[in-house]
A and B are shown apart, each in its own frame.
Chain A
Amino acid sequence: MKRSPHATALLAIFIALLLAAPVLLPEFHVTLLNYIGLYAIVTLGLVMLTGVGGLTSFGQAAFAGLGAYTTAYLTTMHSVSPWLTLPAGLLVTAIVALSLGLVTLRLSGHFLPLGTIAWGISLYYLFGNLAALGGHTGITGVPPLQILDFEIRSGRDFFYLIWAILLTLILATRNLLDSREGRAIRALKGGSVMAEAMGVNTPRSKIVVFAVAALYAAVSGWLYAHLQRFVNPTPFSLTQGIEYLFMAVVGGVSHVWGAILGAGLITVLKQWLQDWLPHLLGQSGNFEMIVFGLLMIVVLQRARDGVWPMLQRFWPQEVRRAHIEGVPRLARRSLPEPGSVLLEVSDASKRFGGLVANDRVSFRVRAGEIMALIGPNGAGKSTMFNGISGVDPLTSGRVSFRGQRVESLPARRIARLGMSRTFQHVRLLPAMSVIENVAIGAHLRGRKSFIAAACRADRDEDARLLHEAAAQIERCGLGDQMYEAAGTLPLGRQRLVEIARALAADPCLLLLDEPAAGLRYGEKQALAELLRRLRAEGIGILLVEHDMEFVMGLADRVVVMEFGRKLAAGLPEEIQRNPAVVEAYLGGVE
């Protein structure tokens, strides 16, 4: 996407100020800025992990410690060049982060932070007690960094290195978040179920953000070791890990620039409090933590988005449009022969404890037909959808999709086979634009991964994905609202966004859960027309809907469910005349 001219100008001013800072500022302030830069690198990882990915870690300081201790140990004991210890430190960190991630990320969200607390403490004591790492005194005599014959010794020289790395990482992070994998990461917070149904491997995305955040911390630790020229356990303690999280939350946990802001605010405030509080209280100690703690509580209660969004209000936010003109369309999958059986559900049952939500239901959906699943509220229609699409697997029974048994496959594998769906309770990411939401539907149609995204090697593919998303949005009649935040649309239109997202997956079977609810008459007409066109293309559609006029005028066949059982099946006219259906569902109308 294109960056707005205002943002570019602000960025240019910021970089100019940074370039001038070491020349103009006294040594003390340069040192302070160096620390802010180091902290911001760690905090940036936390922003990605917490604000974007909805996970959190209190152990980032420990990861920084891994980076710092690896280089300190290798350079002092084995005289390895610092430029080789950086990849070594990253490797150690990656191994630890991946194993920790694999262990905790399958559990519900709070086990990861708890695991990182324990791991942060454990590593701190390990650093402090291993004789090889110098115990609590640490390791001294870490060599300075050297580029050819130039030694980076002074704080002023280090300043440029730290901030160049920080800005590079910020750029890479922004690139990553504005990509196919990035949208998948942004879906982790509150949209895992939807993302899985769109084919995103959410456990993998979680592990990747966790590892990336850890690697950022390790880079910061490596820089720290060569800036300070010695390491000891204190800066890698749990307390520091907590402080990093404070920086992220105060700065603005969902914004990459919030990392610098938060690191800056907390570092300056800490400096100031450490000067003043001992005088005020008449004793010395880490009393700034009282203020930080209270500040955090207030921020979380009053302004959960942190300070950055407050600043952001002062400059105009411009809509960033995707470059999609003249981009070739994505290749379509070849659809099965119209009339061939796409989906075969046999004896599908779902129990929730004692409640039988689906009781041995069987039916088929063919390519190029619209099949409606109707029934009173609580009949088990949405449960059936969840069972078929793998979102909430069946207790027993078989589901074959395109000749393959899918009832025990995870949702993302089923999505890969060409099934796409919408949700009865709309599952959009409200803060993301309509086009980005829809592009998540096209997730499986791209291949470029994290590293390609971070260095912008994915632009052609991403443009094609966005082009596809835009085309589907136009098709659903939402062209005017493509760049609006999805959460600001009326509910009926949000349902249309869900349909566009499902279509972006290029499905051969479409599961639509109450697509017409909340639409006006004209919009319903347009939707019916769209579904007819899709049918003509050879897509199979399974539809749950309460609007009988809509269903009966559209569906080729109808299955009626009541109390989890199949009550009747047949052509719309047959169903309308079926006495059992009229009795149970239509309640004596006609």
Chain B
Amino acid sequence: MDVQIALLLGQDGVTNGAIYALLALALVLVFAVTRVIFIPQGEFVAFGALTLASLQAGKLPGTVWLLLAMGMAIGLIEGATAVRARRFHRLPLIILVNCGAPLLLAASLLAVSPAGLPLPVQVLLTLMLVVPLGPMLYRLAYQPVAEASVLALLIVSVAVHVTLTGIGLLFFGAEGSRTPAFTDASFTVGDVVLQGQTLLVIVASTLLIVALYLFFERTLYGKALRATAMNRTGARLMGISGDLAGLLSFTLAGAIGAFSGVLISPITTIYYDSGFLIGLKGFVGAIIGGLASYPAAAAGAVLVGLLEAYSSFWASAFKEVIVFTLIIPVLLWRSLKTRHGEEA
């Protein structure tokens, strides 16, 4: 390996690492606020990438149907609850938000041909289609069992992951998609060629991380989420609804996942089930941070990206083996740092 290749691999590693870092942050966020280990995070990446690819190919993305179906389900549940409580005045809003909005989105997608739209609009449409799935998922799958043990919530997560992967196969088929690069620009710094796409990913990830930081430090909702993460009961006594905190954190996780998918889709071919491994690599990063520290999780994720890039050079067949075996020494290290395990 010469310096040139080393730098090239490093560039690859940092690019992927930046995306893993975003996912790691979302995982830490969701876990801290809701105690849910959000295995389906990766499906949002795949759905984001594949939805964008569908839009660009001029097809109606399958996620529209998922959005409609989940909206209907929530509308039914919420509607039934409102009727039982005889609060009929809430019905119009429930129907409008859960069924009306997805229908409107679906109708507008049918009306215009999304393939001809400029890229930023396509990205925006993708986010509008995929991000709401986050809070909807929370409402349908997690909220009814919000008080269950971490273990039970983890099993729910795995069930959701399995369901979404199957749905992904149904909607997008077994073939992978790769969207064209956002930019063809490239820069030469010394001997190294920097791809514009790479820079874009790194800059976008960094911006998003800064935005998240500002959200948590400067806004009321961000502070409410932090409060819930620190002490659920205490936060609830202060009037912060646990459900709201859950919905909010899942919205953020959905947004981060979908956006990561948009970022990664020009770099790698994404299949309906690619998200899982991508999400898990974010996880390995998050575990390096003990599922608690945001900077450590981000650093861990970049490390995972680099490790993956270099191991794909030396032992490409064993790339996944190396990345996922890394978790063992990491857990050992964490285990030696922890004095004793407590009950979940």
Q: Is A134 an interface residue (CB 8 A)?
A: no
In the assembled complex, the Cα of A301 lies from the Cα of B320 at a distance in Å of: 34
Q: Is A290 an interface residue (CB 8 A)?
A: yes
Q: Is A272 an interface residue (CB 8 A)?
A: no
B156 and A56 contacting across the interface, CB-CB below 8 Å: no
In the assembled complex, the Cα of A288 lies from the Cα of B162 at a distance in Å of: 10
* Those of A383-440 within 8 Å (CB) of chain B: none
Interchain CB contact (< 8 A) of A297 among B151, B163, B291 = B163
B162 and A242 contacting across the interface, CB-CB below 8 Å: yes
In the assembled complex, the Cα of A23 lies from the Cα of B179 at a distance in Å of: 58
A103 and B162 contacting across the interface, CB-CB below 8 Å: no
Interface SS majority for chain B? helix
Q: Is B213 an interface residue (CB 8 A)?
A: no
When each residue 257-269 of chain A gets 1 if its CB lies under 8 Å from chain B and 0 otherwise, what string results?
A: 0000000000000
Which residues of chain A come closer than 8 Å to B335, judged between CB atoms? 103-104, 106-107, 111
Which residues of chain A come closer than 8 Å to B338, judged between CB atoms? 106-107
Interchain CB contact (< 8 A) of A108 among B166, B277, B341 = B341
Select from chain A the residue with minimum beta-carbon distance to B334.
A107
Q: Is B317 an interface residue (CB 8 A)?
A: yes
Which residues of chain B come closer than 8 Å to A106, judged between CB atoms? 335, 338, 340-341
Interchain CB contact (< 8 A) of A300 among B152, B165, B283, B320 = B152
In the assembled complex, the Cα of A111 lies from the Cα of B170 at a distance in Å of: 32
Q: Is B169 an interface residue (CB 8 A)?
A: yes
Q: Is B207 an interface residue (CB 8 A)?
A: no
In the assembled complex, the Cα of A122 lies from the Cα of B280 at a distance in Å of: 12
Closest CB-CB distance, B145 to chain A, in whole Å? 6
Which residues of chain B come closer than 8 Å to A289, judged between CB atoms? 162-163, 165-166
Given contacts A107-B335, A122-B321, contact A290 B154 (CB under 8 A): no
Select from chain B the residue with minimum beta-carbon distance to A241.
B158
Given contacts A108-B341, A121-B280, A301-B144, contact A287 B328 (CB under 8 A): no
In the assembled complex, the Cα of A245 lies from the Cα of B155 at a distance in Å of: 8
A115 and B163 contacting across the interface, CB-CB below 8 Å: no
Interchain CB contact (< 8 A) of B170 among A54, A107, A285 = A285
When each residue 317-344 of chain B gets 1 if its CB lies under 8 Å from chain A and 0 otherwise, what string results?
A: 1101100110110011011001011111
B162 and A115 contacting across the interface, CB-CB below 8 Å: no
Interchain CB contact (< 8 A) of A293 among B166, B284, B291 = B166
Which residues of chain A come closer than 8 Å to B334, judged between CB atoms? 107, 111
Which residues of chain A come closer than 8 Å to B163, judged between CB atoms? 289-290, 292-294, 297
Q: Is B287 an interface residue (CB 8 A)?
A: yes
Q: Is A114 an interface residue (CB 8 A)?
A: yes
Given contacts A103-B335, A110-B150, A290-B166, contact A129 B158 (CB under 8 A): no
Closest CB-CB distance, A233 to chain B, in whole Å? 12
A105 and B341 contacting across the interface, CB-CB below 8 Å: yes
A56 and B151 contacting across the interface, CB-CB below 8 Å: yes
In the assembled complex, the Cα of A544 lies from the Cα of B169 at a distance in Å of: 62
In the assembled complex, the Cα of A54 lies from the Cα of B150 at a distance in Å of: 11
Q: Is B173 an interface residue (CB 8 A)?
A: yes
In the assembled complex, the Cα of A126 lies from the Cα of B325 at a distance in Å of: 10
Select from chain B the residue with minimum beta-carbon distance to A302.
B144
Interchain CB contact (< 8 A) of B318 among A108, A129, A293, A296 = A129
Q: Is A31 an interface residue (CB 8 A)?
A: no
Interchain CB contact (< 8 A) of B145 among A118, A287, A300 = A300
Closest CB-CB distance, A203 to chain B, in whole Å? 8
When each residue 105-138 of chain A gets 1 if its CB lies under 8 Å from chain B and 0 otherwise, what string results?
A: 1111111011101110110011001000000000
Interchain CB contact (< 8 A) of A107 among B165, B173, B328, B341 = B341
Interchain CB contact (< 8 A) of A103 among B167, B284, B331 = B331
Closest CB-CB distance, A336 to chain B, in whole Å? 30
B324 and A283 contacting across the interface, CB-CB below 8 Å: no
Interface size class of chain B, counting residues whose CB lies under 8 Å from the partner chain: 35 or more
Q: Is A286 an interface residue (CB 8 A)?
A: yes
A108 and B344 contacting across the interface, CB-CB below 8 Å: yes
In the assembled complex, the Cα of A118 lies from the Cα of B177 at a distance in Å of: 26
Q: State how many residues of chain A have any CB contact under 8 Å with chain B.
A: 51
B317 and A293 contacting across the interface, CB-CB below 8 Å: no
In the assembled complex, the Cα of A287 lies from the Cα of B165 at a distance in Å of: 9
Which residues of chain B come closer than 8 Å to A122, judged between CB atoms? 320-321, 324-325
A125 and B321 contacting across the interface, CB-CB below 8 Å: yes
Interface centre among A109, A110, A192, A239, by most chain B C-beta atoms within 10 angstroms, is A110
Interchain CB contact (< 8 A) of A104 among B145, B173, B331 = B331
In the assembled complex, the Cα of A433 lies from the Cα of B155 at a distance in Å of: 28
* Those of A69-124 within 8 Å (CB) of chain B: 100, 103-111, 113-115, 117-119, 121-122
Q: Is B28 an interface residue (CB 8 A)?
A: no
A100 and B328 contacting across the interface, CB-CB below 8 Å: yes
In the assembled complex, the Cα of A109 lies from the Cα of B37 at a distance in Å of: 12
Which residues of chain B come closer than 8 Å to A192, judged between CB atoms? 343
Which residues of chain B come closer than 8 Å to A518, judged between CB atoms? none
Q: Is B174 an interface residue (CB 8 A)?
A: yes
Q: Is B160 an interface residue (CB 8 A)?
A: yes
Q: Is B109 an interface residue (CB 8 A)?
A: no
Interface centre among B156, B161, B327, by most chain A C-beta atoms within 10 angstroms, is B327
A114 and B321 contacting across the interface, CB-CB below 8 Å: no
Which residues of chain B come closer than 8 Å to A100, judged between CB atoms? 328
In the assembled complex, the Cα of A104 lies from the Cα of B287 at a distance in Å of: 12
In the assembled complex, the Cα of A110 lies from the Cα of B286 at a distance in Å of: 13
In the assembled complex, the Cα of A109 lies from the Cα of B141 at a distance in Å of: 21
Closest CB-CB distance, B192 to chain A, in whole Å? 31
In the assembled complex, the Cα of A292 lies from the Cα of B335 at a distance in Å of: 34
Which residues of chain A come closer than 8 Å to B160, judged between CB atoms? 293, 297
A118 and B151 contacting across the interface, CB-CB below 8 Å: no
Given contacts A110-B37, A281-B170, A297-B141, contact A121 B320 (CB under 8 A): yes
In the assembled complex, the Cα of A115 lies from the Cα of B317 at a distance in Å of: 21
In the assembled complex, the Cα of A245 lies from the Cα of B328 at a distance in Å of: 22
Which residues of chain B come closer than 8 Å to A239, judged between CB atoms? 162
Closest CB-CB distance, A296 to chain B, in whole Å? 4
Interchain CB contact (< 8 A) of B37 among A105, A114, A286 = A114
B156 and A114 contacting across the interface, CB-CB below 8 Å: no
Q: Is A190 an interface residue (CB 8 A)?
A: yes
* Those of A455-487 within 8 Å (CB) of chain B: none
Which residues of chain A come closer than 8 Å to B166, judged between CB atoms? 285-290, 293
In the assembled complex, the Cα of A192 lies from the Cα of B340 at a distance in Å of: 12
Interface centre among B152, B159, B291, B320, by most chain A C-beta atoms within 10 angstroms, is B159
Q: With A109-B151, A287-B170 given, can you name 12 additional A-B contacts, CB distance below 8 Å?
A: A103-B331, A108-B341, A110-B151, A111-B287, A115-B328, A245-B155, A292-B163, A293-B160, A294-B159, A297-B159, A297-B163, A300-B152
Residue pairs across A and B with Cβ atoms less than 8 A apart, 25 shown, are A54-B344, A106-B338, A108-B341, A108-B343, A108-B344, A109-B151, A109-B343, A110-B151, A111-B287, A113-B151, A118-B283, A118-B324, A119-B328, A121-B324, A126-B318, A286-B166, A288-B166, A289-B163, A290-B162, A290-B167, A293-B161, A293-B164, A297-B156, A297-B163, A300-B145
For the complex of A and B, list the 3 residue pairs with the smallest distance between their C-beta atoms, beginning with the closest.
A293-B163, A109-B344, A290-B166
